Structure 1
Amino acid sequence: MTTGFYWDERCFWHAGGTYALTMPVGGLVQPLAAGGLPESPETKRRLKNLMDVTGLTSDLSVRSADMAARPDLERVHPASYLDRFKEVSDAGGGELGLRTPFSRGGYEIAALSAGLAVQALADVMQGKVENAYALSRPPGHHCLPDWPNGFCLMANIAIAVEAAKARGLAGRVAVLDWDVHHGNGTEHVFYDRDDVLTVSVHQERNYPLDTGDVADRGRSAGEGYNINVPLPPGAGHVAYLEVMDRIVLPALDRFRPDVIVVACGFDAGIYDPIAQMLCTVETFGAMTERVKAAAERLCGGRLVMVHEGGYSEVYVPFCGHRVIEVLSGSARRAEDPMAHTVATRQPNARADAFFSGLIAEMAAEFGF
């Protein structure tokens, strides 16, 4: 098996400048050392460093990519948005949407981030690698065609999907988003379509506050091809695997895609600072095992994972390492440094029963 790993040092150089996430600094609010932007390069850089130290990188086909071409970008984003983004970027940077600051050169770095996803998907579809992981930054799943938000400046996965379809490389594409925040941008792009299945498993009303409801199932030809699984805070390993088994895998079986793309965020991790979920390294590994098996069963193993969120600089690298271990079949291991802490937590039968009942209700609503 050959797993492609797509990354570029320049993506780590994306910067948001001085920015506070929840409130302005000043007065009695002490400025934060990193400007208050949790989407820092360190989670991604430390993942790559960990892979180098364990030797996992040497088991992969390591590649970079060109910036996504303007025609590929314009399949998702209007020219007016791209022109304005480039103008502000060239002038020194700024912010065009909500929580999307960028510095000079931000346009080119965002296009490179999208380009990593475009190349990863194209290479998988052309058989150059069996599956792939794109370490894209800035992330993309919140970005609307003309409105960036949630640290996302270009819709990386949507751009990659549309590019593959335009080149005749893919017909039916399934996008599974397990980032803790609702994948509203990806949903928006494909909401009227029946050739792209979008499934988002997220913390209910974390971000954005007004999207991601179970009732949002798609529109027109796309009705039934958008699935939202909003989970209350406190969902962890047992709940996420039950969602995979009772909703996600049946949805993939019913859709029968040509390729599966995962919006691979790690902010559902137990140590994430801006979410309240309880997933562990083992959770992300087990979910990857399931989706990899589904890809082997349904679409010749064609699976692409595109990095999204995750804000614990210590924990994200170990979650990402486990995903890439499973994806590649490598024997290299980076054991969870917090496993002993998680293992001391007692199973909560009442919580498991609550989440199981909720998941069963959603599965029935989706017809599974």
Structure 2
Amino acid sequence: MTTGFYWDERCFWHAGGNYAFTLPLGGLVQPLASGGLPENPETKRRLKNLLEVTGLIRELDVRGAAPAGEADQLRVHPRDYITRFKAMSDAGGGELGLRTPFAKGGYEAAALSAGLAKQALFGVLRGDHANAYALSRPPGHHCLPDFPNGFCLLANIAIAVQAARAVGLCERVAVLDWDVHHGNGTEAIFYEDPDVLTVSLHQERNYPLDTGEVSARGAGRGEGFNANIPLPPGAGHATYLAAMERIALPLIRDFKPDVILIACGFDAAAIDPLSRMLATAETFRAMTAQVMDLAGDVCGGRVVAVHEGGYSEVYVPFCGHAVIAELAGSGTIAEDPMAETLAARQPGARFVAYCDSLLKEMREALGV
């Protein structure tokens, strides 16, 4: 079976309105598609373009998807929120939450983004693909049930998971979030659910500032099924792989999920404007290989990666290409133009040792 690749040009047309402008739009003032937001279409479009240029896309099963319907959305979000979102979108756009402006058609773009995640998951669970990648935009992992947050307007992964569970395609799901920002939305949605393990690997106190602590373990029947791995600014390749090997992967192995979803943000990369981490394209490839090895043991290799953050227009495509090539088992490589430079800028032994001591404390706190 091949790797599924789900995308839609219309997701790249999602715009953030007039968020960062002081000049009035119109006349000779040309608006940016992003509305001035760091979350802009070029990081995703250039990833798609790089797949075309290297030829990797010809090794993938390329598909589109229908938007996530109202029934899908209402399994996660209250009707009042969906109604307000759609009405504001139809009226020309605006902002319902925190750092989530959208232009006219923002609701349709978000529904389509969630639909790509849903169909990628369905495709893997139904056996159409060995694994899959959804190039979703706008992202979803910060979106709370009734409050959009951090560029995220609908909870893409949560919508996909609940849709699959509703039709009996899976029961137990692990969500591994390696976006540099804490996956607070996904955490909140499944915080009391013992059948969804959420693991977030992120830069400590980056965004949101008040979530992502190790002590947040879930509640009620879901206690013990949420794990946060906050890393200090400056953590690089060695620390990310160690955090995966020592904490994230053992938790998932013990949970024995039917499928593993990756909230696949690339903003932990060393040249991302919204983080202070030192991951590289090789880091993301190696983490993908770790997940695939584990998935082969515990869930028949079923892995679905859903695109989240990542704000370097130049570097995100190389990180994404590395992940997708690894998923596909492909020898088609996009050589990292920053590899030598970033290798020379990795943390020294003393800082790596410090991070190792933090991981040891987290292992003890999480009972790994």
Q: TM-score, normalised by structure 1?
A: 0.96
Aligned pairs for 1:203-222 within 5 A? 203-222=203-222
Match of 1:29 in 2: none
Match of 1:2 in 2: 2
Distance 1:124 1:170 in 2: 11
Aligned pairs for 1:184-223 within 5 A? 184-223=184-223
1:168 Cα deviation (Å)?
0.2
1:69 Cα deviation (Å)?
1.1
Match of 1:293 in 2: 293
Match of 2:269 in 1: 269
Match of 2:75 in 1: 75
Match of 1:156 in 2: 156
1:366 Cα deviation (Å)?
1.2
Distance 1:127 1:189 in 2: 27
Amino acid at match of 1:322: A
Distance 2:341 2:254 in 1: 39
Per-residue CA deviation, residues 147-170 of structure 1 (Å, 9 max, x unaligned), is 001000000000000000001000
Per-residue CA deviation, residues 236-269 of structure 1 (Å, 9 max, x unaligned), is 1011000001001110111000000000000000
Match of 2:104 in 1: 104
How many residue pairs end up in the alignment?
361
Amino acid at match of 2:240: Y
Per-residue CA deviation, residues 87-114 of structure 1 (Å, 9 max, x unaligned), is 0000011111011011111111100000
Distance 2:162 2:355 in 1: 35
Amino acid at match of 2:295: A
Distance 2:347 2:230 in 1: 22
Distance 2:317 2:298 in 1: 29
Distance 1:269 1:308 in 2: 13
Match of 1:38 in 2: 38
Match of 1:244 in 2: 244
Match of 1:234 in 2: 234
2:336 is paired with a residue whose SS is coil
User: Over the residues paired in the alignment, what is the CA RMSD in angstroms?
Assistant: 1.4
Amino acid at match of 1:71: A
Structure-2 change in CA distance of 1:72 and 1:347 (3 Å): closer
1:346 Cα deviation (Å)?
6.4
Aligned pairs for 1:305-320 within 5 A? 305-320=305-320
Match of 1:304 in 2: 304
Tell me if structure 1 keeps the 8 A contact 2:212–2:230: yes
Tell me if structure 1 keeps the 8 A contact 2:15–2:35: no
Q: What stretches of structure 1 move > 6 A for 4+ residues in a row?
A: none
1:313 is paired with a residue whose SS is coil
Structure 1 residue ranges without an equivalent (≥5) = 27-31
2:334 is paired with a residue whose SS is coil
Give yes or no for the alignment of 1:176 onto 2:162.
Answer: no
Amino acid at match of 1:364: E
Tell me if structure 1 keeps the 8 A contact 2:278–2:342: no
Query: Alignment identity in percent?
Result: 68
Amino acid at match of 1:294: L
Amino acid at match of 1:287: M
Give yes or no for the alignment of 1:56 onto 2:50.
Answer: no
Match of 2:28 in 1: none
Match of 2:284 in 1: 284
2:212 is paired with a residue whose SS is coil
Give yes or no for the alignment of 1:14 onto 2:14.
Answer: yes
1:25 Cα deviation (Å)?
5.0
Amino acid at match of 1:272: D
Tell me if structure 1 keeps the 8 A contact 2:264–2:305: yes
1:70 Cα deviation (Å)?
0.8
Match of 1:121 in 2: 121
1:35 Cα deviation (Å)?
4.2
Distance 1:92 1:345 in 2: 45
Q: TM-score, normalised by structure 2?
A: 0.96
Distance 1:150 1:81 in 2: 16
**Comparing 274-283 with 345-354, which one deviates more in the overlay?**
345-354
Structure-2 change in CA distance of 1:256 and 1:87 (3 Å): same
Amino acid at match of 1:124: V
Distance 1:285 1:243 in 2: 15
Distance 1:346 1:112 in 2: 38
